[in-house]
């Protein structure tokens, strides 16, 4: 982080589970960092594999501009203080039909164990999440078995720090982030890349690390690096939410130093 240059970036895309949260909790230090970034004029967009229900409370209660959920299936933003607008990658009806196909496929897997759906599955609009590291515990071999059988059937499967997220469609976290940049900020991809920072922690953040050069991993990403094609250019010294707070402090410190330099007399 010491050599990371935030430049003139003023947009933050951030993963949620194990990037903002620590052991499933949002620490005071992390929430304060979010508030400080927002107060400094940085527009924050969480990008999560989390469910629509989770995203609804995020956009209503956190100091964020928008939220991308279920791995890029939709984004939500406020059009008025208590009014939320949802934007789907395709349309809700087709996504619901695809979700039903995935649920049937998961139920029909030929395994010597029973994969469990995430406890928040009822609050998902588009994807299906299999729990391997939240309330359930699957071995790496079991996770691989679920992954490989579903990929062989033509489904997209990505591994977060807690779930296997399964969906149909040509979207992911990055494609929806680019759409948000275009639709909410009127920025093409190149301009969005120059003005955005991304921070994450897991293999399902791979597309964001690929398309956003100003990318950071919290320290707990190190255990995943060997299986990731695209990796962050900097890694915090602290894990999870404390790593996020470390990133925020560094970014705000650079902005303060830059502001002082601009007003310093010759």
> Is 11-89+171-263 CATH 3.40.50.150?
no
How high is the pLDDT of residue 260? Answer: 81
Backbone region of residue 212 per phi and psi (left: phi > 0; alpha: psi in -120 to 50; beta: other values): beta
Long-range Cβ pairs for the range 89-97 (8 Å, 24+): 89/126, 89/169, 89/171, 89/175, 89/176, 90/169, 92/125, 95/125, 95/126, 95/169, 96/125, 96/126
Q: Where are the domains of the chain?
A: 11-89+171-263, 92-167
pTM of the full predicted structure? 0.91
- Tell me the pLDDT tens digit for each residue of 103-121: 999 999 999 999 999 999 9
Q: Which two tokens stand for residue 123?
A: 């609050």
Using DSSP bridges, classify how beta strands 196-200 and 83-88 pair: parallel, antiparallel or unpaired.
Answer: unpaired
Element (H, E) at 167: strand 163-167
Note whether 19 and 200 are within 8 A (CB).
yes
Task: Please state, in angstroms and rounded to a whole number, the distance separating the CA atoms of residues 64 and 61.
Answer: 8
Q: Coil, strand or helix: which one is 154?
A: coil
How high is the pLDDT of residue 266? Answer: 58
Angle at 25 between CA 123 and CA 207, to 5 degrees: 65
The DSSP secondary structure of 91-114, one letter per residue, reads -HHHHHHHHHHHHHHHHT---SS-
Cβ atoms within 10 A of the Cβ of 3, count?
6
User: Which residue from 196, 252, 228, 232 is spatially nearest to 19, judged by alpha carbons?
Assistant: 232
- Phi, psi of 101, rounded to the nearest 5 degrees: -65, -40
10-residue block means of pLDDT along the chain (266 residues)?
A: 92 96 96 98 96 96 97 95 94 95 97 96 96 95 97 94 93 97 97 97 92 97 93 97 98 90 70
């Amino acid at each position: 982080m010491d050599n990371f240059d935030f430049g003139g970036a003023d947009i933050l895309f951030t993963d949620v589970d194990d990037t903002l949260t620590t052991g499933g909790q949002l620490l005071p230090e992390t929430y304060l960092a979010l508030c400080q970034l927002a107060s400094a004029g940085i527009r924050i967009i969480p990008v999560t594999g989390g469910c629509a229900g989770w995203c609804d409370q995020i956009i209503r209660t956190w100091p964020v501009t928008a939220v991308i959920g279920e791995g890029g299936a939709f984004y939500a933003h406020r059009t008025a203080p208590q009014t939320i607008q949802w934007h789907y990658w395709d349309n809700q009806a087709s996504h619901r039909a695809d979700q039903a196909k995935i649920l049937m496929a998961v139920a029909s897997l030929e395994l010597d164990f029973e994969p469990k759906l995430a406890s928040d599955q009822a609050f998902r609009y588009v994807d299906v999440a299999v729990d391997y590291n939240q309330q359930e515990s699957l071995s790496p071999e079991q996770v691989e078995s679920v992954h490989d059988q579903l990929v062989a059937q033509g489904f997209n499967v990505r591994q977060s720090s807690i779930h296997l997220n399964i969906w149909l469609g040509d979207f992911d976290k990055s494609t929806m982030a680019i759409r948000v940049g275009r639709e909410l900020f009127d920025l093409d991809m190149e301009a969005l890349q120059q003005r955005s920072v991304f921070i994450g922690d897991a293999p399902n953040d791979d597309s964001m690390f690929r398309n956003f050069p100003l990318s950071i991993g919290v320290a707990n990403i190190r255990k995943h690096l060997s299986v990731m094609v695209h990796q962050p250019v900097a890694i915090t010294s602290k894990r999870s939410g404390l790593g996020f707070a470390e990133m925020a402090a560094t970014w705000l410190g650079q902005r303060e130093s830059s502001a002082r330099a601009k007003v310093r007399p010759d």
